[in-house]
C-alpha cells in the first residue's frame, strides 16, 4: 500500500484493501485479547502482594470480561464465509396479522437495536415504514457497522413467532404473530455489479416523517424491485432522491452477490451430502409471553425464561448456540 501507484488505480487496489480488512479483523482481536491478559496478570500480581486483597474484585471482573471475549473470538474464527467480516443490513418485516404483526415488528426492531448497541456496533436506521393504525412497523432496515456484523446476524434470518395475550383484544385472547428477519452484507464490490435497466422497476414516493415541519413534501424515498428475483430494497433516510437511489441500489447489488455466494455454497453442500439446517421463511424461534414466559430457538433447542432480558437485546446466547451447532455440523 505504501508502494508507488497503489492509490492511483482504486479498482486494481481494492482486492488488496479488502484482503487487508480481513487480515486486520483477525489480528486486531488477538492483540486486544493479549492486552487483556496482560492487564489481568498485572492486577493479579498486585492482589498477590501484601495488603493487595482489594484488587481481587477488579481481577475477577477482568477475568470474567476476558473469558467472555475469548469465547466470542473462539466463534469468530470459525467464520469462513466470504462476507462474514462485513457490516450488515438487517430487515425486519411484519407478516400477516395486521396490527399484531406490526407491533411485533416494532418490538423486534428495538430488540436488535439494543443488541447492536450492547455489542459495540454502530446502529443506524436505513429505512422505516410505519403502520399508521397501530403505531407499529410494517418494515424497517437497520445498518450494523462493526467487525463480523453479518457473520453474527445472519443467524437471525428466518421467521420469528410471538405468542401473547393481545393488548389490542378486548376479550384478552391469546394471539400468535409472525415477522420475518433478513440479513445481507454491505459489499463494497457491489458497486462494480452491473444490472440491466430492463430488470429494474424504480418507484419514487414521499418519505414518512414525524409530522409537522418534518413531513417530507417531495418524493425523495426510493423503492427498487429486481424483476427476475423479486428482491425489493428501499431507502428514505436521505433527503436527496439521488442518494436514496444509490443506497437502495447498493443494497440490491449486495443481495444479488449474496444470492450467488449462497448458490455456490449450496452446490458444495449437495456434493458433500451436508444439508442446510435453515432457510428463509422457516420458523426459527418462538417468543412466548403468556400464559408462561419462554423464548426457544427451534434449530438448537436453546431457550430461556427471561423474556424481558431477550427483548432488551440479550440474544447473544441464541447466536452463539446457532453458530456452535453449525460448526459441529461442518465438523461432521
Q: What is the DSSP string of 21-72?
A: HHHHHHHHHHHHHHHHHHHHHHHHHHHHSTTGGGGHHHHHHHHHHHHHHHHH
Exposed / middle / buried, residue 295 (Cβ in 10 Å: 0-12, 13-18, 19+): buried
Which tens digits make up the pLDDT trace of 213-226?
444 455 788 999 99
SS3 (DSSP) at 243: helix
Split into its structural domains, the chain has a count of: 2
Nearest to 207 by CA among 171, 176, 245: 245
Q: Do 165 and 280 reside in the same domain of the chain?
A: yes
DSSP 257-323: HHHHHHHHHHHHHHHHTPPPS--TTSEEEEEE-SSS-EEEETTT--EES-HHHHHTT--HHHHHHHH
Same domain, 122 and 235: yes
239 domain residue, yes or no:
yes
Identify whether 205 is part of a domain.
Answer: yes
- Boundary (domain end) residue, out of 22, 49, 76: 76
Q: What is the pLDDT of residue 2?
A: 83
C-alpha cell read off for 168: 389490542
Does any domain span residue 81? Answer: no
Indicate if 113 and 144 belong to the same structural domain: yes
Print the SS3 string covering 68-130.
HHHHHHHHHCCCCCCCCCCCEEEEEEECCCCHHHHHHHHHHHHHHHHHHHHCCCEEEEEEEEE
pLDDT string in tens for the chain (332-residue length) = 888 888 887 777 877 877 787 788 778 888 999 999 999 999 999 999 888 889 999 999 999 999 988 888 888 777 877 788 888 999 999 987 778 899 999 999 999 999 999 999 999 998 898 887 777 899 999 999 988 899 999 999 999 999 998 877 767 778 888 999 999 888 765 556 788 888 999 988 876 654 434 444 557 889 999 999 999 998 887 778 888 888 888 888 888 887 887 776 665 455 434 333 333 446 899 999 988 999 999 999 999 999 999 999 999 999 999 988 887 655 54
- What's the pTM value of the predicted model, to 2 decimals? 0.70
Residue 249 sits in the same domain as residue 174: yes
DSSP 146: S
Tell whether 215 and 257 lie within a shared domain.
yes
* Structural domain includes residue 4: no
Which among 88, 105, 85, 191 is positioned nearest to 142, based on CA atoms?
88
- Looking at the structure, do residues 98 and 175 belong to the same domain, yes or no? yes
DSSP 238: S
Q: What is the CATH number for 179?
A: 3.30.70.1660
Residues 176 and 100: their CA atoms lie apart, in Å, by 8
Is 3 within the bounds of a domain? no
Give the burial class of 331: count Cβ atoms within 10 A of its Cβ; 0-12 exposed, 13-18 middle, 19 or more buried.
exposed
The three grid cell numbers given for residue 76, joined into one nine-digit string: 469468530
3-state SS class at 329: helix
Distance CA 280, CA 2 (A): 44
Residue 1 domain-assigned (yes or no): no
Instruction: Tell me the residue range of the domain where 227 lies.
Output: 88-331
pLDDT tens profile 44-57: 999 998 888 899 99
Residue 261 lies in a domain: yes
Last residue of a domain, one of 28, 55, 76: 76
- Among the candidates 31, 56, 76, a domain finishes at 76
CA distance 181 to 153: 10
Residue 195 CA to chain centroid, in angstroms?
26
User: Are 163 and 126 in the same domain?
Assistant: yes
Amino acid at each position: 500500500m505504501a508502494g508507488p501507484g497503489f492509490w492511483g488505480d482504486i479498482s486494481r487496489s481494492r482486492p488488496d484493501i479488502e484482503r487487508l480488512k480481513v487480515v486486520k479483523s483477525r489480528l486486531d482481536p488477538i492483540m486486544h485479547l493479549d492486552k487483556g491478559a496482560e492487564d489481568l496478570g498485572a492486577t493479579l500480581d498486585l492482589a498477590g502482594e501484601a495488603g493487595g486483597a482489594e484488587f481481587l474484585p477488579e481481577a475477577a471482573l477482568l477475568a470474567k470480561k476476558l473469558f467472555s471475549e475469548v469465547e466470542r473470538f473462539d466463534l469468530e474464527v470459525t467464520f469462513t464465509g466470504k462476507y462474514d467480516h462485513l457490516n450488515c443490513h438487517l430487515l425486519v418485516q411484519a407478516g400477516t396479522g395486521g396490527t399484531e404483526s406490526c407491533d411485533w415488528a416494532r418490538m423486534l426492531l428495538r430488540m436488535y437495536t439494543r443488541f447492536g448497541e450492547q455489542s459495540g456496533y454502530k446502529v443506524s436506521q436505513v429505512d422505516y415504514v410505519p403502520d399508521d393504525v397501530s403505531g407499529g412497523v410494517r418494515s424497517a432496515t437497520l445498518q450494523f457497522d462493526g467487525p463480523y456484523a453479518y457473520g453474527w446476524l445472519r443467524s437471525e434470518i428466518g421467521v420469528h413467532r410471538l405468542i401473547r395475550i393481545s393488548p389490542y383484544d378486548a376479550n384478552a385472547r391469546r394471539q400468535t404473530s409472525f415477522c420475518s428477519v433478513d440479513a445481507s452484507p454491505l459489499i463494497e464490490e457491489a458497486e462494480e455489479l452491473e444490472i440491466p435497466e430492463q430488470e429494474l422497476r424504480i418507484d419514487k414516493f414521499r418519505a414518512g416523517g414525524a409530522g409537522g415541519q418534518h413531513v417530507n413534501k417531495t418524493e425523495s424515498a426510493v423503492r427498487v424491485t429486481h424483476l427476475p428475483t423479486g428482491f425489493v430494497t428501499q431507502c428514505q433516510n436521505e433527503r436527496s432522491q439521488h442518494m436514496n437511489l444509490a443506497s437502495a441500489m447498493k443494497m440490491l447489488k449486495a443481495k444479488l452477490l449474496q444470492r450467488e455466494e449462497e448458490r455456490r455454497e449450496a452446490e458444495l453442500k449437495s456434493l458433500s451430502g451436508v444439508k442446510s439446517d435453515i432457510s428463509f421463511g422457516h420458523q426459527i424461534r418462538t417468543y412466548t409471553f403468556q400464559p408462561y414466559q419462554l423464548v426457544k430457538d427451534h434449530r438448537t433447542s436453546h431457550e430461556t425464561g427471561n423474556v424481558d432480558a431477550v427483548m432488551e437485546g440479550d440474544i447473544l446466547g441464541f447466536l452463539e448456540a446457532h453458530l456452535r451447532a453449525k460448526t459441529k455440523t461442518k465438523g461432521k
